[in-house]
Structures are given as C-alpha cells and as structure tokens.
Amino acid sequence: MGCRGVNFFGAESLQNPSPHDILGRVGVPIAVLGAGSFGTCLSVLCGRENDVRLWARSPDTAKAIETERRNPRYLTDLRIPGRITATSDLAEAVDNAGFIIAALPSHALRAVMEEAAPHMTPDSIVISTSKGIEFETGMLMHQVLEDVLPDAQRSRITCLSGPSFAREVAQRKPTVVTVACEDEEHAMAVQAKLSCPWFRCYSTDDIVGVEVGGALKNVIAIAVGMSDGMGLGLNARAALMTRGLAEVTRLAMELGGRLETLGGLSGMGDLLLTCTGDLSRNRQVGLGLGLGRPLEEVTAEIGEVAEGVRTTRAACRLAERVGVELPIAEMVRRVLAGDASPAEAGRALMTRQLGREYDPNRL
C-alpha cells in the first residue's frame, strides 16, 4: 500500500504507490464505456493527460467521432481531442485499461459489463456513473457489478455521483462530486486520477448511501417537475424536496447507508441540482406531465434516458420489500403508470395521515 499525502486540491491521495497500484501504471489507457452525454464529457475530462478509449454501441457513432472529432448525437458542439480513440469493439476498449468508467444507462449496465468482464485486466478499477436500481433484482449498481465481475475485481468497484450536469462539465464549469468504494483506497485512486481545477472529487466508503442518493433524486425531481408544471408554487417545491430527501434517507439507511452521506454531494447536493436545474431530464419529464402531456411524448422529445422513469418502479418495489415508506415516490409511480393524474397525486400527498416531521423509528 502506498503512502498517503495531500494533493493540490487539499484531499488525501495516493503517493509513491506500489508497482501493482493503478496510479503507478504509466501510460495505461482509460476506458469509457458509453458515448452518451456523460460518457463523452468524462472521456474529454480524462483525455487531458491520458489516452482514452471511448466505447460506443453504434459503429456509426464511433466512426463519426473518429473522423469528425465530434459526437454526432450528444454534446455535438464539444470537440473531442486526439488522445481519445472511439471504438464499437468492447474487448478493444477495455483491454489493459487501468480505469474502466461505465457511463451506461442503469438498465444496460449488467449486459455490457458481463460482455466486458472476460477482457478486463484483473487490477483495473471500475467506476460506475450509472444511477438507478435494477428492477428484477432490487440491486444497486455496485451490486450488479459485483454480480457480473470476477471475485478479484469486486474490491475495486467504485461509483461516481453528485451534482454534475454533463454539459457544464464539458464547459469546464466548476463541478464537485463524490467517489465511493467500500475499500476507500480505490476511491482515492479515482479521486486523484479525475480531479482537476474544474472537477473536484471527494472520497467515501459509503457506496450504498451514495448510490441510493444518486438513484432516488431522479424520482423526486420528477415529482418537483410535476408540481412546477402545474404551477403549484415555490412552497410546494421546497416541501417536495425536503420530504423527498427524507424518503431517500430512509431507504438508504435501511440498506446500510449513512445519514451524513445523504446530507452531502450525492444526497442533498444532487437532489437540489436535479430538482431545480433546467438541464435535468427527470425534471423535464415531470414538467411535461404537470402540463398534462403524455409520458411517451415527453420522453421522446427529451431524446435521452431519464433514469427516474425506470427507477421509480424499482425503488417502490425495493422499499416495499424492506418495509420503508416512500409516499412521494409511490405517487410518482402511480402517475407514470397512468393510475393517477399529477393533481390527484398531489392531493393524496397533502391529505395523508398527519404525523411528526422527525420519527426516529423511521430513520
């Protein structure tokens, strides 16, 4: 194990790593799996000082990136530097990569990583940016990775989460996120690799708290969007965000997360951004529903995955299994399923049985 020190950003990092440590593997490329908005911006972030292989599912997308140095579908105005090689060959992308960033929709994570696993270097650090809950199993994203990756890889599974719109990262606007791993040494390696003057990472070992915060904030953002779309006002917005955070916290702690994590970047921070920022796809879904538009029409217009739509159903199912109440998430689920209108869901929330704001038996 290498010695720890303080880096330029004031956070602990690894220094003088042992030969087997990833940070000591000079010239080893980084793989970014997924050429959506976040994968594209992270490849550019990493491509400042590293060779990067960006995997796109579509061969046409990979070819366009290689020849035009632009992503033809996402962040189309972002120039992609020459150190980034685009490929649709998954084995080629992960071969000998020191860091593998899985910037994939949550529903695609299992299948892609199962295919990638046989071609990965055993000491690669895997970084998931997927935010969701697998419906069929109730697994968080790091648990899905644990399920499909070899035993030797499991301690190296990390997740990156926090208030981070891809477009603003691409524009080099200041962004601060959290990197989590049960073995925090690996989170710190990711922290040291990705941090730069406009992208700052904090580390933690509470991967459950970080992932639940990242997944459920999308559900609450749909609720806030519906409220705003109906013109219910700023009081209602604040109430939904605050009580929404209580729901996120209840589920996270029931699953083993820590209270302080939900008050941090991947909890309250990401919730604030996703509920109020107009770049939020989940907020846009809610706004459309609040205006009375059909879900299919709204999601088609957005053109990218709004994770909250899938996560809502999975979160409600998981919460029921572990005995946690998520009244806001449940109302969002009913609206998405067509079982209630946004107005009916709002009335149901406002007329629930009265209770204490803080109940220690529920947290």
- Per the DSSP assignment, residues forming a β-bridge with 54 are 32, 86
Backbone torsions φ then ψ of 121, nearest 5 degrees:
-70, 135
Cα Rg of the chain, angstroms: 20
Q: Tokens standing for 62?
A: 């990979």
Q: Which amino acid is at 163?
A: P
Structure tokens at 354: 């009265």
Are 22 and 99 a contacting pair, CB within 8 Å?
yes
Instruction: Provide φ and ψ at 47, rounded to 5°.
Output: -75, 0
Strand, helix or coil for residue 225: helix
Q: Check: CB of residue 13 under 8 Å from CB of residue 4.
A: yes
Please confirm, yes or no, whether 217 is among the known catalytic residues: yes
CB atoms within 10 A of CB 92: 13
Type of residue found at 264? G
List, as one string, the DSSP characters of 169-186.
HHTT--EEEEEE-SSHHH
Q: Is 319 left (phi over 0), alpha (psi -120 to 50) or beta?
A: alpha
Q: Which two tokens stand for residue 249?
A: 């916290």
Which residue has 């940070």 as its token pair?
23
Catalytic residue among 63, 131, 193, 217: 217
Closest to 228 (Cα-Cα) out of 270, 306, 282? 282
Catalytic residue set:
217
